[in-house]
Structure 1
Amino acid sequence: MALTVVSGSGHTWRLTEQIGAGSEGIVYAVDDARPLVAKLVPAPRDPAAYRRRIARLVRQRREPRAVRLLSATPARVAWPLAGVRAGGLGAEGVDGYVMTDMRHAHQPFAHLLTPQVRQRLLSRATWATGLAAALSLARLLADLHAEGYVVGDLKPDNLWVDAYGRVGIADADSWQFTDGGEVFPGRMGSPGHTAPERIGTPAGTPPDRASDEFVLAVLIHQLLMCGLHPFAGHPASGGDYLSYDDNVLHRRCRLLDRASVVLPRSAPPVDLLPHRLTALFRAAFGGVRPTASAWARALSAEADPARLRTCRRGPLHVHTAERPWCPWCDLAERGADGYPAPAVRPLPDDSVPDPGVTKGPQAATDVKGRAGWQG
């Protein structure tokens, strides 16, 4: 049976199928002429505080700081448009909000991270597409930080990307921000995408810009290294692999110490990365973390077509001009081509249109994570 939600002004929406779920909420499609979805949060820690948080975000949508974030096409943020309540899901009702449906112009970010999925759904993506997505993500985070927002739970499940590498973000209700002197803290964090200072801390430990910047570097690494997490690998000491977070806490990272982890031969080589970006990764994981703006400047320089080369053996084998030969051909010889030729079979009707190879940066990548809306 379809659910109905109502806003504070009395407007009603009919919800249809469930399209996503996460640790806090459930996302539903909305029966509306506009591309909308609704997120319902059945059991927030403090229902009154959650309703107040959503109300402030809805109001901020008309303020200059949010207007600047929402002015791009396609949408960069699935911003709360109206707070809603579903009365049929419990004695006191369930709170949530209506927002833009990012599926209208994007695909789940994780589609760019796995070669097999990317081959089917983003079939013309190259390493230049990964650069474009990394640049778009860095600029988006820099803009959010400039307007006083901290994402806190920055992860592939909350991100979206289109065929040109343009990135969008959802789950704004979990961000940390200040409104009228009141702080609305962020609490969320996800395994594999949490800064070391927040790993193992009590639930509710607030994030800050620096914690966002650590995770940004992780995501950029995944985009440029065909989905490889920078803290992937079995401990070289012979101990058991436990998790990305355990490796983070023990600084097991091949960029910091090649001898700290063991990776399969199918892993992209370190020298696939331009020297400028390698230096930023080492700072992000072992020193003073570069800001999102610093990442954006460096990625913009590397995305210049003059800095890119296309392999003669395949138009999808794009790499930095610093590398004298194609790293993707090397990997293909090992049976691990990061950018295989497009799938021959036609895609289903709901796939993203293939824009063709562009001269400028496009996007491709590889991360683990559930694809689609997360609650």
Structure 2
Amino acid sequence: MVLNLLSADGRRWGLAEQVGQGGEGVVFAVADRPGLVAKLVPNPADPAGHRERIERLVRRRREPRTARLLSGGPGTLAWPLLGVRTVRGEGHGYLMADLRPHHQPLDRLFHAADRERYLPGADWATALRAVAALAALVAAVHAEGYLVGDLKPGNVWVDGRGAVALSDVDSWQFTDRGVLFESRPRTPGYTAPERVADPSAAPTRSADDFVLAVLVHQVLMVGLHPFLGLPTDGSPYLSLDDNLRHGRCRLTDRRSVRLPEPLPPADLLPSAVRALLRAAFGEAGRGSPTGPPTAAEWSRVLGAELGPGRLRRCPTEPRHVHTVERSWCPWCDLAGRGHHEYPAGAVGPAPAPTIRADGPARPSHDRGRNR
């Protein structure tokens, strides 16, 4: 059965199959309109407030600050195009572009099986391009006066070249004509320290920047969350947020957590990237008024790592790409221990940035060092 929606201009829109669901809304394909999906929030707590939020976002699409974001800059946004409601009025939402034809959820970069199935040929250069693009997009969002608020893998999308998109724009925080529309959703494991400590705290740019750092770590470290691990101080493992609260992080204190082997080595990351991650996850980033490195800083540093000569392709397995700072291949190391992150196969659909293939293979007697 096709469900019907009404838009403010009196048009009817038929819904087809459900294609997604999040903490607040349900997403449906729009019947006979390929390229469009509808996000509905059934029985919102404040129907009038939710409807006004959508109406303001739809109108702001034509304003200069938003138009700059939507003009093909650093990424794609599934911006609300038209407000809709169910015929009986119990659900409100909007139409937006369907990201699925060209993008996959970001977490499909995390694991080898998902990469091979959904992003075939993606390598570590793809991951680096994705986080660089995400940082640039978040920086652009901030520059135009918006906050993402609930940044997480579920609302970040990536394609096979490492280009990114953001969905769930209706949860962003913004001010329109003097009215503040706050962002209240928060996702465990992707919440800034100040919002973990005080769930009622409103998000800030710093909160977005902190979660951006989490995603940079997780994408580049093939799915490893920076605050994952069993506490080594005798405390029980409760959650990622509890580890965050207590500063348990392998990158800032390798003895604070115990993790299963084999792990990607910390020096898989370029030194400049490690430095920013430590600034974000150390005491200064978690508690300082200045907060973690900004999205603009991340964009600059990650972009530099994509520059000429900054990446090297393994001479043994062309699918393996790593920073030029590392003289041997970390992916061959992991494969030798039975953990195949980038198995042999076709190289990605887009050429990686200038990549050197002149580095020596790692000596066999060095296996297991620097882990």
Instruction: Please point out which of 203, 207, 211 is paired with 1:207.
Output: 203
Change (3 A) 1:190 1:322: same
Whichever residue aligns with residue 225 of structure 1, its letter is M
Whichever residue aligns with residue 2 of structure 1, its letter is V
**How far is 1:5 from its partner?**
0.6
After superposition, residues 1-375 of structure 1 pair within 5 angstroms as: 1-72=1-72, 76-88=76-88, 92-203=89-200, 205-286=201-282, 287=284, 288-342=291-345, 356-360=349-353
Q: For the residues of structure 2 that align with 1:73 and 1:26, how far apart are their CA atoms?
A: 28
Q: For the residues of structure 1 that align with 2:84 and 2:33, how far apart are their CA atoms?
A: 18
**How far is 1:94 from its partner?**
1.3
Q: Is the 8 A contact 1:24 1:43 kept in 2?
A: no
Q: Is the 8 A contact 1:109 1:160 kept in 2?
A: yes
Match of 2:362 in 1: none
Whichever residue aligns with residue 256 of structure 2, its letter is S
Unpaired segments of 5 or more residues in structure 1? 344-353, 363-375
Whichever residue aligns with residue 315 of structure 2, its letter is R
SS at the partner of 2:303? helix
**How far is 1:262 from its partner?**
1.0
Q: Is the 8 A contact 2:75 2:137 kept in 1?
A: no
Unpaired segments of 5 or more residues in structure 2? 285-290, 356-371
In terms of mean alpha carbon deviation, does 36-45 or 289-298 score higher? 36-45
Q: Is the 8 A contact 1:13 1:32 kept in 2?
A: no
Q: For the residues of structure 2 that align with 1:15 and 1:144, how far apart are their CA atoms?
A: 30
Q: For the residues of structure 1 that align with 2:47 and 2:92, how far apart are their CA atoms?
A: 8
Q: Over residues 105-164 of structure 1, what are the superposed CA-to-partner deviations in whole Å (9 max), with x where a residue is unaligned? A: 211111111111102221211111111000000000000000111111000011110000
Match of 2:288 in 1: none
Q: Is the 8 A contact 2:161 2:349 kept in 1?
A: no
Q: For the residues of structure 1 that align with 2:300 and 2:74, how far apart are their CA atoms?
A: 22
Match of 1:351 in 2: none
Q: Over residues 256-306 of structure 1, what are the superposed CA-to-partner deviations in whole Å (9 max), with x where a residue is unaligned? A: 111101112211111111111111001111224111000000001111141
Change (3 A) 1:144 1:329: same
SS at the partner of 1:229? coil
**How far is 1:43 from its partner?**
2.3
Q: Is the 8 A contact 1:85 1:93 kept in 2?
A: yes
Q: Is the 8 A contact 1:133 1:167 kept in 2?
A: yes
Q: Is the 8 A contact 2:36 2:98 kept in 1?
A: yes
**How far is 1:253 from its partner?**
0.4
Q: For the residues of structure 1 that align with 2:21 and 2:226, how far apart are their CA atoms?
A: 27
Q: Is the 8 A contact 1:75 1:102 kept in 2?
A: no
**How far is 1:57 from its partner?**
0.1
Q: Which has the higher contact order (CA 8 A, sep 6+)?
A: 1
Q: For the residues of structure 2 that align with 1:202 and 1:261, how far apart are their CA atoms?
A: 25
Whichever residue aligns with residue 335 of structure 1, its letter is G
Change (3 A) 1:272 1:74: closer
Whichever residue aligns with residue 208 of structure 1, its letter is T
Q: How many residues align?
A: 348
Between the aligned residues of both structures, percent identity stands at 56
Change (3 A) 1:297 1:202: closer
Whichever residue aligns with residue 29 of structure 1, its letter is A
Whichever residue aligns with residue 258 of structure 2, its letter is V
